[in-house]
Structure 1
Amino acid sequence: MRHGYSISNSIMFHMITCYFENNNKAKKGLRHITVNAIVIHENKVLLGKRGTVGGKVMLESGKWGLVGGFFDRDENLAQAVKREVLEESGCEIDNLTLFRINDNPNRPKEDRQNVDIIFSANLVRQIPKKDEEISHLEWFPLDNLPPMEEMAFDHGEDILLYKEYLKKKHPIPLLGLT
């Protein structure tokens, strides 16, 4: 069936297969899952200045953001965030805590709706690494962050919510919020 579901019967179960339009290429109207980490070490948070991909300027290039990226097929959320943080920063992390699920359909500065799964994590070790997606890495004291206008997407909001959580220890994960 075009643009929808194909249902086939089996002896014991029904199987539903979903087909995407445009030869299986994701359209801007689809939702994407991203993972990001608020990596903490000695009361500092790791931020990366967004760079390029394949030599092309990324969305929000030159702005500071949390380290993370897209969720890949055949991995769970913990594997995804650990992989992304290691790929982009050379940092191994542990003590993952699900902090926030940001599903705001009107997230700023996005060309599509990404559902962002944000974890807090601790640094295990950092191995120097260069990744083109991050032009510069820096550990910022939680009380001395870059100005909000220098932050990519709504990552500054994530960090402010994390700082508030440290003061009040309210229940997490935070869901939604606009």
Structure 2
Amino acid sequence: MKEHPILFSAEMVKAILEGRKTMTRRIIKPQPDNQLTGYSLLGTHCWRDENLNLDEIPYGNYTACPYGQVGDRLWVRETWAIIKENDNVCIYDMSQNSGLFFKADNPTSPKVGKWRPSIFMPRWASRIDKIIALLRVERLLDISEADAKAEGFNSIDEFLTYWNILNKKRGYGTDINPWNWVIGW
């Protein structure tokens, strides 16, 4: 089993902790050409031209998921801080996350030192681990109602609105229907 970090916003961390979020979608980079299709083969993910026979080119242009494979562990990176008192770092027992504060729990706490972005969270500070149980490749607009709920939303429309808030400015909005890694735990 390998371990892989994965970033989540405070809102999505809260949904994970509440049990509402059991799936995430991550943009495949670079995006494959439109004539290609994703499929799963023996636990790995590949691309191939949809007009080709699988027996002719069994592995297509192999692209491994950077977030791991089924059975691997994801450790969540989230916005965090070290509790400070009188400008001195106050850490008592890091094995129990004492001295750490998470934005998902209380974004306006006055006891927090400086918020640290999720990208800078070290492994020792992570409090959430998830084992990958599902992994597939899918276009964004192929999401089902059940998957939108597993993403932590009430409907597909709600999920797609949130998706555009996060990804449209980066060129991966619903208008281009990007390919994604679909990861479930």
Q: TM-score range by the shorter chain?
A: under 0.3
Tell me the TM-score normalized by structure 2. Answer: 0.25
Structure with more relative contact order (C-alpha pairs < 8 Å, separation 6 or more):
2
Greater helix share, structure number: 2
Greater strand share, structure number: 1
